[in-house]
Structure 1
Amino acid sequence: MDRVDASPSAEAVGRRADAYAAAPLLNCLLREVAEPLAGPGDPRVHRLPSGRLLRVRPGRRPADPELHAAGAWHRVGHTELVKLVAEELRRHTGLPGGDLPAEMVDSRDAVAALLTARARATPPADPYLRSEQSLITGHPHHPAPKARGGGPVASWLPYAPEAHARFPLVLLGVREDQVAEEGDTGALDALGTAPPGYRLLPAHPWQLDLVAGELAEAFADGRLLRLGTTAFDTWPTAAIRTVYEPGRDLFLKFSLDVRITNDVRRLWRHDLRRLRRTDTAALHAVEAVGRPAAWLGDRGYRTAVFAFEELAVLVRDGLRGHLLPGATPLLAAGLAEGFDGSPLAAAADPAVWWEAYLRQVVPPALRAFGDHGVVVEAHLQNTLVAVDAAGLPVQVLFRDAEGVKLLPDVTRAAGWERLVYCLVVNHLAEIAAALAEHHPGLDPWPAARAELARHDLPEIPALLASPTLPGKTNLLLRWTGADGADARYLPLPNPLAGG
């Protein structure tokens, strides 16, 4: 959904926010700890670890949860659902869950604020930016996908892509002897003018507010100067801390000391130090596949030595040098979520559209792995799919070297599991479900199976024969306090099998 009613009541917003927030939380609960019970019809009934029975209206966005008690089914609102999930996970894991219940509530309240803001906002005219700013649900299998660190709405709403925000960047001057950088950062020097003896460093205004206390001394002693703001606005993308400036065709990625889904979204020193290696490997792997596939390179970073992670900014390739003539890039996650003008919903022949989609997305990811040992993080939010004037997919563009894994840094088995999760479970399964939802009667999985079978990777036969696929356990990962990068998987039914 892209817009809400012009003047929604608080009650209407609350109902919609409850529904948006409940769907991914239910997806997690049902995937990770509930046991589906056999039986005809909808809604579906599931047994929870406590033995209690929960039934929901099924689908890729489950809804209308009801709990069985005293011989009857009772509706469960979002507040009660958070309490229920917490009780069941404490029983299931023996652990208290830390801040996660509060994050679930924060996520729901953030959705309510976003829905209210969107009713007053004007969506961008550019379909690419609309796709980036469409994610009201967000990650469909995360318990708190829209949590914003628990801060007041006023602190983050001006920078929220889902609210169709756009804003100038703060310009800082860093004393030249205090600059740390690597790679090609020349684009930063064109954003403004630094005084003699200083280098220009843009900052995300939300991040600057978050770390202001840590920088007071640097401002006081002259290592850091405030130079105003950019003369232009930037558009936050789905990643929140990555912004796009269409006039300069420039992406900038910042640190953000806020937990978004599983991680505090800081540009960590160890990731920046290996950036050139991972980005170069991904670039070479995707280039070797050949056009039209493309990699949006992370050219380099600049920061201050006294606030290395806090003030780091990463420079990423723009779109124009990579796009096919006349093609329009769209965020894959936006295609799954839905936005005004989405070609997925409007496809005249969904089977043809889906085959074209698979033909663009699948081969580059598999060949990067098989030929070059590069695990591209090909999930929905790191994949752009460009379409032609008729809305047919004609190109894929992958991004984000931070998520790339290289063999033999990880074992081939671990790399393959990660690729299958990102490409098939996180990405293709969501697009397939959205397509089938918009075009009833379409079975998307025979075409997906045929596309995968065209490739001669030794892992493919086992993938197509396996009864299960690896599903990431985001609810249990967060509940047990595991590191956000420490992916854990459980087996999910494999729709590719048995074809």
Structure 2
Amino acid sequence: MDRVDLIPPPDGDGLAARADAYAAAPLLNCLLRELAEPVAEAGGLYTYRLPGVARLLRVRGTRRPAFPEVFTAGRWHPLGHTELVKLTAEELRRHTGLSSHDLPAEMIDSREAVAALLAARARAEAPADPYLRSEQSLVTGHPHHPAPKARGGGPVAGWLPYAPEAYARFPLVLLGVREDLVVEEGDTSALDALGQAPPGYRLLPAHPWQLDLVGRDLAEAFADGRLLRLGTTASDAWPTAAIRTLYAPDRDLFLKFSLDVRITNDIRRLWRHDLEKLGRTDTAAARAFAGGSAAWLSDRGYRTAAFAFEELAVLVRDGLAGHLLPGAIPLLAAGLVEGFAGSPLQSAPDPGAWWEAYLRAVVPPALAAFAGHGVVLEAHLQNTLVAVDADGLPVQALFRDAEGVKLLADVGRAAGWERLVYTLVVNHLTEVAAVLAEHHPGLDPWPAARRAFARHDLPEIAGLLTAPTLPGKTNLLLRWTGADGAAARYLPLPNPLARPLPEH
């Protein structure tokens, strides 16, 4: 009952219904996880009590709940997305005693963005490359965020040309920054190969959407010659699932930009404090992966302008070719969960063997980085690439994003372990396991997962395998209360690892 076929078909006026369904699923996941109380289950219908508004809510399915209904006046009434947003806001006001105008607007914006993306995908052609196809597949996006596709409330025409979910590709804008005003750290030499800067200037690529957003603030710099417009790159870059991180296949290079738009919980700027500690965290992560089959995509350096440090910052990240095992095909883990044409998760002839290979690729390097190097990866679905062989079997994991890495020396072991468990187990493995079981009924993924963790001699493993609950992030409450995205709050979720292993 959790399959994608719960989404209405794309015929007739079905686009609006499909947009409602895609937008409702992650919002329902948040509402049911963070506030509702389960009451009953029958025939694939799950009923919950909403204590704040004293109503019963019923949905179909669990992983991607659909067709929400509320029980009033003696019968069940279907809820469209707008009505679901209103109900959620009522529940949150009663639960927290606080009001929020921002979050309901973001939820509506997210739904409108989904509608625009569905329409654009119907007119566009998906990339032929399976890696790019996996990066650009996330129509649902974060499965436990109330507004995963919100794009800052701006007009669709402002952001749709740069949306990965719309199969976008586009050239980068090339700027020249006066040489004495360039700020950089690390290895940024790859930027100089993107074009030609005139004497006295250095090359600085810019994301065209970001330049649209902050262009007025830079008018004086363009007027007095601190900045020059030098045209665009000769070839296109492809936005990845992270939206502001682009991949240039012809140069095998990732570039991460500032973006003055709230995406999920945060304004996605390259903040000065993160850039200034980048070298330390990236060096630690690279050291943790040296010599192993798993790989770290290094954030090797950044370049920006002193007068627009955060607005124009660009981060240079390793490409794929130097890290992949011979013949391996990289795929985004989040894309495997969302689903895309040619996904090996959906077509695995032996799903149990596929899952064990997946666990072998992903779990040991994340635990080794923690135990041996004090590095806490942000090992969630969008920061993990899983490379597969010619038969679609996972053979390697590649991790990325030094901005999300924490060091035990800074956060402490207990907090670091909680963060790793959330990103690796709750955010990542539970989603992959659920999709795998959905496509292969009868498969129980958790005994293999339990064995995969039990092989590692960390003092925290015994607790992980016996604790009744795991930490789940409360994105709905976090956004409603206006907390900073980094101020994670966790609630206890049932631990699927806490089951006895079979004797054999």
Q: Specify the TM-score bucket, using the shorter chain as the normaliser.
A: over 0.9
State the distance in 2 between where 1:40 and 1:147 align.
Answer: 34
Alignment-derived partner of residue 251 in structure 2: 248
Alignment-derived partner of residue 60 in structure 1: 63
State the distance in 2 between where 1:275 and 1:39 align.
Answer: 48
Alignment-derived partner of residue 413 in structure 1: 414
- Say whether 1:266 aligns with 2:269: yes
Which amino acid in structure 1 is aligned with residue 257 of structure 2?
Answer: F
- Say whether 1:216 aligns with 2:224: no
> Structure 1 residue 39: deviation in Å?
5.1
- Say whether 1:144 aligns with 2:147: yes
**Range with bigger deviation, 45-54 or 472-481:** 45-54
Match of 1:155 among 158, 161, 171: 158
Alignment-derived partner of residue 304 in structure 1: 305
Which amino acid in structure 1 is aligned with residue 264 of structure 2?
Answer: T
> Structure 1 residue 41: deviation in Å?
4.0
Q: Deviations over 1:422-476 (max 9, x none)?
A: 0000000000001011111100000000000000110000110011000000000
Alignment-derived partner of residue 38 in structure 2: 36
Alignment-derived partner of residue 429 in structure 2: 428
Alignment-derived partner of residue 25 in structure 1: 27
Q: Deviations over 1:325-384 (max 9, x none)?
A: 100000000000000000000100000000000001000001100111100110000000
State the distance in 2 between where 1:179 and 1:5 align.
Answer: 52
Indicate the SS of the match to 1:358: helix
Q: Deviations over 1:129-154 (max 9, x none)?
A: 00000000000000000000000000
Asked if the contact 1:149–1:259 (Cα under 8 Å) also holds between the matched residues in 2, the reply is: yes
State the distance in 1 between where 2:101 and 2:289 align.
Answer: 41
Indicate the SS of the match to 1:257: strand
State the distance in 2 between where 1:432 and 1:255 align.
Answer: 33
Structure 1: any 5+ residue segments left out of the alignment? none
Indicate the SS of the match to 2:330: strand
Indicate the SS of the match to 2:285: helix
Asked if the contact 2:8–2:18 (Cα under 8 Å) also holds between the matched residues in 1, the reply is: no
**Range with bigger deviation, 34-43 or 123-132:** 34-43
Asked if the contact 1:173–1:226 (Cα under 8 Å) also holds between the matched residues in 2, the reply is: yes
Which amino acid in structure 2 is aligned with residue 382 of structure 1?
Answer: N
Alignment-derived partner of residue 400 in structure 1: 401
Q: Deviations over 1:31-64 (max 9, x none)?
A: 0000111454431111112221101112210011
State the distance in 2 between where 1:130 and 1:114 align.
Answer: 15
State the distance in 2 between where 1:259 and 1:285 align.
Answer: 32
Match of 1:226 among 226, 229, 248: 229
State the distance in 2 between where 1:5 and 1:201 align.
Answer: 45
Indicate the SS of the match to 1:84: helix
State the distance in 2 between where 1:86 and 1:449 align.
Answer: 38
Correspondences of 1:333-372 after superposition (within 5 Å): 333-372=334-373
State the distance in 2 between where 1:214 and 1:169 align.
Answer: 19
Which amino acid in structure 1 is aligned with residue 482 of structure 2?
Answer: G
Asked if the contact 2:25–2:66 (Cα under 8 Å) also holds between the matched residues in 1, the reply is: yes
Which amino acid in structure 1 is aligned with residue 455 of structure 2?
Answer: R
State the distance in 2 between where 1:172 and 1:40 align.
Answer: 60
> Structure 1 residue 98: deviation in Å?
3.2
State the distance in 1 between where 2:392 and 2:437 align.
Answer: 17
Indicate the SS of the match to 1:151: coil
Alignment-derived partner of residue 120 in structure 2: 117
Correspondences of 1:457-472 after superposition (within 5 Å): 457-472=458-473
Match of 2:182 among 179, 184, 187: 179
Indicate the SS of the match to 1:37: strand
State the distance in 1 between where 2:476 and 2:67 align.
Answer: 20
- Say whether 1:130 aligns with 2:133: yes
Asked if the contact 2:261–2:267 (Cα under 8 Å) also holds between the matched residues in 1, the reply is: yes
> Structure 1 residue 81: deviation in Å?
0.2
Structure 2: any 5+ residue segments left out of the alignment? none
TM-score normalised by structure 2 residue count: 0.97
- Say whether 1:238 aligns with 2:241: yes
Indicate the SS of the match to 2:453: helix
Asked if the contact 2:8–2:17 (Cα under 8 Å) also holds between the matched residues in 1, the reply is: no
Indicate the SS of the match to 2:171: coil
**Range with bigger deviation, 241-250 or 42-51:** 42-51
Q: Deviations over 1:208-235 (max 9, x none)?
A: 0000111011001100000011111000
CA RMSD of aligned residues (A): 1.4
Alignment-derived partner of residue 474 in structure 1: 475
> Structure 1 residue 498: deviation in Å?
2.0
Asked if the contact 1:7–1:119 (Cα under 8 Å) also holds between the matched residues in 2, the reply is: no
State the distance in 1 between where 2:175 and 2:200 align.
Answer: 13
Alignment-derived partner of residue 385 in structure 2: 384
> Structure 1 residue 8: deviation in Å?
5.1
State the distance in 2 between where 1:104 and 1:7 align.
Answer: 22
State the distance in 2 between where 1:230 and 1:118 align.
Answer: 25
Alignment-derived partner of residue 78 in structure 2: 75
Which amino acid in structure 2 is aligned with residue 72 of structure 1?
Answer: R
Indicate the SS of the match to 1:409: helix
> Structure 1 residue 30: deviation in Å?
0.2
State the distance in 2 between where 1:129 and 1:291 align.
Answer: 25
Which amino acid in structure 2 is aligned with residue 179 of structure 1?
Answer: V
Alignment-derived partner of residue 293 in structure 2: 292
State the distance in 1 between where 2:445 and 2:289 align.
Answer: 26
State the distance in 2 between where 1:41 and 1:275 align.
Answer: 51
State the distance in 2 between where 1:39 and 1:61 align.
Answer: 15
> Structure 1 residue 286: deviation in Å?
1.7
Q: Deviations over 1:108-128 (max 9, x none)?
A: 000000000000101110000
State the distance in 2 between where 1:297 and 1:494 align.
Answer: 33
Asked if the contact 1:327–1:389 (Cα under 8 Å) also holds between the matched residues in 2, the reply is: yes
Indicate the SS of the match to 2:259: coil
State the distance in 2 between where 1:317 and 1:5 align.
Answer: 40
> Structure 1 residue 97: deviation in Å?
1.9
Which amino acid in structure 2 is aligned with residue 296 of structure 1?
Answer: L
Asked if the contact 1:8–1:116 (Cα under 8 Å) also holds between the matched residues in 2, the reply is: no
